[in-house]
Amino acid sequence: MPDKAKFIQELSARYTPKGDFITLGKGMFGAEVVTEVDVTIPLKTLNRHGLIAGATGTGKTKTLQVFAEQLSHKGIPSLVLDIKGDFSGIAEPGAQNPIITERYAKTKFPYEAQAFPVELMTISGEKGVKLRATVTEFGPLLLSKILDLNDTQQSIMSIVFKYCDDKGLPLIDLDDLKKVLQYVTDNPQGKAELSNNYGSISTASLGAILRSIVALEQQGATSFFGEPSFDVKDLLMQRDGKGVVNILRVADIQSKPQLFSTFMLSLFAEIYMTFPEEGDSGKPKLVLFIDEAHLIFNEASKTLLSQIETMVKLIRSKGVGIYFVTQIPGDIPENVLSQLGLKIQHALRGFTAKDRKEISKAVENYPVTDYYKATELIQNMGIGEAFITALDEKGIPTPLVQTYLLSPESRMDILNDAEVADLTGRSALVAKYENPVNKDSAYEMLTTRMEQAVQKAAPTQKTRTVKEEPGVFESVMKSRAGRTFTTTLAREGAKFVLGMLGLGGRK
């Protein structure tokens, strides 16, 4: 039987960093909570990314809550993608109860019920900070990926952006882009300008691009594109020394997969292009938590998975850590999983042969230990217990330790409607981004130009007797394909893309 004294000596040495750290709980030896062993994570390794996994009901969300609280205490802001909608209670203090009293008595840590600074954010119609981006900020490559365009259509999109840049036509929202496509498709002057300077473009390809834009609009992207666009530096706020917990509520992600992909692409691209290189700063400037991470990877191709892997490797140099939260480690592709320095593994259930295979795969990713029969214990850990292995300050994996995790100090429940209204009503960021700005852009400029052309041509048009055929733009917008294209996209699912190397930043 393993020696407890040796366990305390070895684990204490490996989980006692020289620099600053966060604490997640106490080590366990058998069924005993060993108060001499603090399970800590060095701040300087938190940009090396991580995984929080476990079966439903094992405590993953509470672990995420404790993690975000500990970061906030250290002045580190976070962004939490709250897909289940059960995280907002972190804005209110918790309430002590017998379970919490017993847990903290075992750990010998003091319990202090407290609230944490929170910003609620939204990409749909809910209350919170409105997250927007302009079409120009996306650029032709990123927008083409969102619209799932082929190589030819991507080239056309690049030409359209170049045309707008040369002609001084700002692309702010999707109406601007559609108006430009209408102008170069159906208007004689626009068609001539495009073909004379950039070459002829197939009207069928333009029609396909329009149908893709219509599909994106049907998922709610109309309100996402526009101004004022969100400045990612607003994710880096502190209040009273605590890092702000930014909560993006995306409970309707599964009904709007393309809109969610649009947001995520915009966010990661802006962070990567905006944040400076950090080097060895000693702690991250931002930590991202992506709940229900399997929704990202389910439909991704090999090419897209490679891009995700590249981003996970590179974004840590910007001082940003990414943490995936899911049920089993197998939800995360191997090449991404191998880049995750911290692993917090709650219990897994071996009800089927497939479940047992996943358990074996999960255990293979952990350091070998003499203190636990990991394959058995992983199926029998209680709620609020987890295996943890991390990276020490030298980048070396720490020993696997069964951890008795802290309970959140904030409320373990959601905010009610009145509390949400009060929180958002007091937010300076909500006020900053609440009202859209609709200044003159491509839509207004081209509408005026086309109206003037119609007025000049009016006397000639009166003599015509042949009825003109509708243009490509009008046909697309009225067609059944245009109305139902989004159904096909939703059925097929969105391809979540994170590759943005070579993309331009804000203009």
Q: Please report which confidence band the pLDDT of residue 153 belongs to, taking 50, 70 and 90 as the band edges.
A: very high
Phi, psi of 162 (to 5 degrees): -65, -40
Say how far apart CA 121 and CA 130 lie, in whole Å. Answer: 6
In a domain, 226, yes or no: no
Cβ burial 281-293 (10 Å sphere, 16+ → b, else e): eebbbbbbbbbbb
Each residue's pLDDT tens digit, 255-264: 666 667 667 7
**At residue 325, does pLDDT exceed 90?**
yes
Say how far apart CA 122 and CA 118 lie, in whole Å. Answer: 13
pLDDT attached to residue 258:
65
Domain endpoint, select from 433, 453, 476:
433
Closest-CA residue to 119 (of 228, 244, 252): 244
**At residue 49, does pLDDT exceed 60?**
yes
Closest-CA residue to 507 (of 139, 241, 71, 203): 139
The domain that holds 317 is classified in CATH as 3.40.50.300
Domain endpoint, select from 433, 449, 470:
433
Task: Specify whether 385 is located in the same domain as 306.
Answer: yes
Q: Please report which confidence band the pLDDT of residue 199 belongs to, taking 50, 70 and 90 as the band edges.
A: confident
Say how far apart CA 227 and CA 502 lie, in whole Å. Answer: 24
Task: Specify whether 389 is located in the same domain as 320.
Answer: yes
Domain range enclosing 243:
4-130+234-433
Say how far apart CA 339 and CA 321 lie, in whole Å. Answer: 11
Task: Specify whether 273 is located in the same domain as 396.
Answer: yes
Q: Which residue has the tokens 């040369």?
A: 166
pLDDT attached to residue 460:
53
Say how far apart CA 410 and CA 425 lie, in whole Å. Answer: 21
In a domain, 502, yes or no: no
In a domain, 426, yes or no: yes
- Supply the DSSP symbol for 299: T
Say how far apart CA 416 and CA 357 lie, in whole Å. Answer: 41
Domain endpoint, select from 417, 433, 449:
433
Task: Specify whether 406 is located in the same domain as 462.
Answer: no
Task: Specify whether 43 is located in the same domain as 192.
Answer: no
Task: Specify whether 280 is located in the same domain as 368.
Answer: yes
Say how far apart CA 152 and CA 485 lie, in whole Å. Answer: 20
**At residue 1, does pLDDT exceed 60?**
no
Percentage of the chain with pLDDT > 90? Answer: 54
Task: Specify whether 312 is located in the same domain as 372.
Answer: yes
Each residue's pLDDT tens digit, 461-506: 544 444 444 555 455 444 443 433 333 333 333 333 334 333 444 4
Say how far apart CA 424 and CA 4 lie, in whole Å. Answer: 51
Task: Specify whether 378 is located in the same domain as 264.
Answer: yes
In a domain, 503, yes or no: no
pLDDT attached to residue 147:
84
Each residue's pLDDT tens digit, 164-183: 999 999 999 999 999 999 89
- Reported pTM: 0.84
Structure tokens belonging to residue 406 = 């802290």
In a domain, 228, yes or no: no
In a domain, 374, yes or no: yes
Contact assessment for residue 340 and residue 326, using Cβ atoms and an 8 Å cutoff: no
Task: Specify whether 92 is located in the same domain as 212.
Answer: no
Q: How many CA atoms lie within 13 A of 434 on its CB side?
A: 11
Q: Mean pLDDT across the chain, nearest whole number? A: 85
Task: Specify whether 351 is located in the same domain as 398.
Answer: yes
Task: Specify whether 381 is located in the same domain as 269.
Answer: yes
Say how far apart CA 80 and CA 120 lie, in whole Å. Answer: 10
Task: Specify whether 283 is located in the same domain as 326.
Answer: yes
CB atoms near residue 468 (< 10 Å): 8
Say how far apart CA 336 and CA 310 lie, in whole Å. Answer: 9
In a domain, 411, yes or no: yes
Each residue's pLDDT tens digit, 298-318: 755 565 566 677 778 888 999
Q: How many domains, the chain?
A: 2
Say how far apart CA 180 and CA 157 lie, in whole Å. Answer: 11
pLDDT attached to residue 321:
95
Report in angstroms the alpha-carbon separations of 100 from 54, 184, 275, 409. Answer: 21, 65, 39, 9
Greater model confidence, 398 or 305 = 398
Each residue's pLDDT tens digit, 415-466: 999 999 999 999 999 999 998 887 778 888 888 877 776 677 665 554 444 4
In a domain, 227, yes or no: no
- Asked if omega into 228 is within 30° of 0 (cis), the reply is yes
- CA angle centred on 387, ends 381 and 388, rounded to 5°: 160
- CA angle centred on 105, ends 101 and 109, rounded to 5°: 105
